[in-house]
Amino acid sequence: MFIIAEIAQAHDGSLGMAHAYIDAVAKTGCNAIKFQTHIAEAESSIHEPFRIQFSKQDTTRMEYWKRMEFTLEQWKEIKQHCDEVGLEFLSSPFSNAAVELLEKVGVKQYKVGSGEVNNFVLLEKIAQTRKPVIISSGMSSFAELDKTVAFLKSRKVAYAILQCTTAYPTKPKQFGLNIIQELKKRYKVPIGFSDHSSSIEACIAATALGAEILEFHVVFDKEMFGPDTKSSLTIEETTNLVNAVRNIDLALQNPIDKNDNSEFTDLKQIFEKSLAVNKNLKKGDIITFLDLETKKPKGFGILASEYEHIIGKKLNKDLHQWDFLNYKDITE
């Protein structure tokens, strides 16, 4: 299981905050931390509207992207910090210029956001790096995904796909958990789940349903400034999620053979029961169901599962209330 904590714009353009997130995420058990690399003039214009009108300090969306930029040297410092704490550095590019920058920073693979899945110009630029790609399917139909997959395959690019619903925050009825298996069957590549629900259950369920990659937004506090804070997990929630997912993943990797219960032999001896009688009975009495009780442990009387074999049989000795009942006590 590959778990990605997405910071996106949670740092609000602060290099110090970006580094603080790296240290915090490193303690949660995630495999990777993901940022977004924005170069405002290369990806946007003054005509781009706000998805959420959250900012009181940015007149336009382009101004906001400009404020989210880091320099090449700053990105290298971020990458180095990730290396030092054992996190893989990931960042989604939103322009060809961003891909060129990230190549200089040194990424192992690329994550393509939902809005860029049909951007074949960007995908071509990424394909030229020969590095693996993780794509979010949030706003794409299967027909659109088929075209993107064909594009990547034609360029021999290794890829994985994340089921994702582009809604912030995502409601349970929008999770689309059924799509995980559909994607697995359709494309036969690693399939994951990108979550914006601000809760841990979606990723837990996705893991149980076969997701191999998880991605979710992380924020120090859901009341912080930013477009994704209401759709994010806190650091504590992230730690809890990672622990749960690791346990589920371990369970899935160790299937149980229900035909073999040999490991329970000793416990079965303790928990299972033997037949006994619930009243004083005399030699010659005919045993009925109403005479029977079951008592621990197994092995001191007839197996409880075999009670039907002794109904209607005659006792060949006196038994006291709560005595175990054995085959030697009845006449065949």
Determine which helix (DSSP H) or strand (DSSP E) holds 250, and give its type and residue range: helix 235-252
Predicted confidence band at 62 (pLDDT cuts at 50, 70, 90)?
A: confident
Angle at which helices 120-127 and 142-154 cross, to 10°:
30
SS3 content of the chain, % helix, strand, coil (to 5): 40, 20, 40
Question: CA Rg, the chain, in Å?
Answer: 31
The angle formed by the CA atoms of residues 108, 97 and 62, to the nearest 5 degrees, is 115
Class of domain 2-252: alpha beta
What is the average pLDDT across 79-94?
97
| Residue 250 CA from chain centroid, whole number | 12
Residue ranges per structural domain of the chain: 2-252, 262-331
Question: Given this chain, do its domains 2-252 and 262-331 carry the same CATH topology?
Answer: no
Q: Report the alpha-carbon distance of residue 283 to residue 10 in Å, rounded.
A: 83
**Residues 317 and 329: beta-carbon distance below 8 Å:** yes
Residue 49 CB burial class (10 angstroms; 0-12, 13-18, ≥19): exposed
Evaluate whether 22 touches 78 at the Cβ level (below 8 Å).
Answer: yes
- Band (pLDDT 50/70/90 cuts) for residue 59 is low
Under 8 Å between Cβ of 52 and 168 = yes
Q: What is the pLDDT of residues 263-293, one digit of tens each?
A: 888 888 889 999 999 999 999 999 999 999 9
Contact criterion met (CB below 8 Å) for 43 and 64: no
DSSP state of 108: S
CA distance 232 to 230: 6
- Residue 161, pLDDT score: 97
Q: Does domain 262-331 have CATH number 3.90.1210.10?
A: yes
pTM of the model: 0.85
Computed over every residue of the chain, the mean pLDDT equals 92
